[in-house]
């Protein structure tokens, strides 16, 4: 059970970091798309 919980925590951390990276990529893309307008 302990190993399973540790594995699930690692998976959750990976998912969270992936979501953060994804949101950062979207933010930078939005900034680059907004630049030509101004």
| pLDDT attached to residue 36 | 65
How far apart, in Å, are the Cα atoms of 3 and each of 10, 14, 29, 30, 38?
Answer: 11, 16, 39, 40, 53
- What is the pLDDT, as a whole number, of residue 12? 93
Q: State what percent of residues in the chain have pLDDT above 70.
A: 87
Q: State the total domains in the chain.
A: 1
List the domain range (segments joined by +) for residue 23: 1-38
At 8-19, the pLDDT tens digits run 999 999 999 999
């Amino acid at each position: 059970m302990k190993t399973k919980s540790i594995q699930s925590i690692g998976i959750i951390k990976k998912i969270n970091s992936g979501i953060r990276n994804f949101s950062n990529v979207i933010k930078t893309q939005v900034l680059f798309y907004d630049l030509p307008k101004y």
